[in-house]
Chains A and B, each alone.
Chain A
Amino acid sequence: MTLLEAMGEGFKALGVGFSALHWSNLLMIGVGLLFFYLGIKKDVEPVLLIPIGFGCILVNIPLSEMMEEGGFLRIFYDGGIRTELFPLLIFVGIGAMTDFGLLLERPYMFLLGAAGQFGIFLTLLLALALGFDLKEAVSIGIIGACDGPTAIYVTSKYAPHLLGAVAVAAYSYMSLVPIIQPPIMKALTSQKEKITMMGVYKRSVSETAKLLFPVVITILVGFIAPKGLPLVGSLMLGNFLRECGVVERLSKSAQNEIANVVTLLLGLTIGATMSGPVFVKPQTLLVFGLGFLAICLDTVCGLLLGKLIYVLSGRKINPLIGAAGISAFPMAARVVQREGQKYNPKNYLIMYAMGANAGGQVGSVVAASIMLSVLQGMGIG
């Protein structure tokens, strides 16, 4: 090969990415840019949308081999998503950040946290009726947990090919809770129910009870649904670090360094699953539609149980707090406070709603744990 020929071949290799470009790659680069816009200009989950958007752009530049064996993003994917490590580490951070005291003040809030997960199972059934196979349906239903790490954990186990769609749907709908919930709350509760005052909030939980909470829940749920112990255990480990009061350094690390680093890597690798030819298909739109429905159904079920508790309590508990039983923390609680005040400016529901919202956080991991254990019991997965 002459020098001239070698230079020619060398130049040919430049810009080769353009020749391998598929229209779906271009579309997904646009989606990545849209995530930047939403994160930066609209403040929609920027901590996640920025790395997801960047990962999405990286993986849609052809021939970079970032998601091929040994590629930069593939290493993180194999090490953190396929091993289910990233969502669990995020849970340690969430546990360390969350004060479950408001939930423990009124333990009946656990039930609202349960009702806020029913959309998972209803959507699963609907996904099956629409022709998804069981493992895909489980992964779509789990969007209803309204809890990103849980959705990622379950989907990476059962339907890794849906990971990008499920994760983006879960995080997007979490941030859209202030738009999704109010019309449902308005439609399902009467004026009399909406204006119900819940009285002054009083502290009633000892430090010992708060300290025992993560240990008791880990042992209890672990024995009932062992398959979900990684989820419950990591959430409760983080909370125990927080409540025991003697490992402040570890608690702070879980809340900051670990949560931040893992969020960056998790976002990048989720974005890296959004390669155009794999992601752009009608199935993805169906996943988004069903995910939306799951969160609506969660809100409906939470409100219906809230209405039942309203009647059983002698009309003393505002049923709007039922909507906070989903896991989107603390957005759902803020929505309840805002909506409650819209109908009765003297009403302060925030402390009660935060309790129900914390119940939703426990509820989402418990619901996922039960689903994983039941599936294992049925010989699936």
Chain B
Amino acid sequence: MMGTLEIGFTLLLVGVGGTLLVLGICSLVMELLKRIFPYKEEK
């Protein structure tokens, strides 16, 4: 059984890593969308 501080450390590592990973994926997906649907200057 994990102690409270061990749970805290787990949350710290998974939370920081998970947030970075998910937002990193969001960043890549949006970069991809920008390439698929590029911006065109209005005439």
Interfacial residues, chain A to chain B (CB-CB below 8 A): 104, 107-111, 113-115, 117-118, 120-122, 124-125, 128-129, 133-134, 137-138, 203-206, 208-209, 212-213, 216-217, 220-221, 224-225, 359, 362-363, 366-367, 370-371, 374-375, 378, 380
Contact = CB atoms under 8 A, between A and B. Distances in A.
19 contacts: A107-B26, A107-B28, A107-B34, A111-B24, A117-B19, A120-B15, A121-B15, A125-B8, A209-B30, A212-B37, A216-B33, A217-B26, A221-B26, A224-B22, A359-B23, A367-B19, A370-B22, A371-B11, A374-B18
Q: 8 closest pairs, A vs B, by CB?
A: A208-B37, A110-B27, A107-B27, A114-B23, A128-B8, A121-B15, A370-B18, A110-B23
A319 to B, nearest CB: 18
A205 B33 CA distance: 9
B26 to A, nearest CB: 5
Contacts of B29: 216, 220
Among B16, B23, B37, B40, residue most surrounded by chain A Cβ atoms (within 10 Å): B23
Interface in B1-23: 4-5, 7-12, 14-16, 18-20, 22-23
B39 A108 contact: no
Contact of A206 (B10, B23, B39): B39
Given A107-B31, A362-B23, A118 B16 contact: yes
Contacts of A104: 30, 34
A126 B13 CA distance: 14
Given A203-B39, A204-B34, A134 B12 contact: no
Interface of B: 4-5, 7-12, 14-16, 18-20, 22-31, 33-34, 37-40
Contacts of A122: 12
A115 B27 CA distance: 14
A107 B30 contact: yes
B30 A110 contact: yes
Given A212-B33, A216-B30, A366 B12 contact: no
Given A111-B20, A134-B4, A124 B12 contact: yes
Nearest to A100: B30
Given A206-B40, A367-B15, A213 B30 contact: yes
A104 B31 CA distance: 8
A216 B31 CA distance: 12
A61 B31 CA distance: 55
Given A114-B23, A206-B37, A362-B26, A133 B16 contact: no
A366 B31 CA distance: 18
Contacts of B39: 203-206, 209
Contacts of A134: 4, 7-8
A135 to B, nearest CB: 11
A220 B25 CA distance: 9
A366 B29 CA distance: 15
Contact of B19 (A108, A114, A212): A114
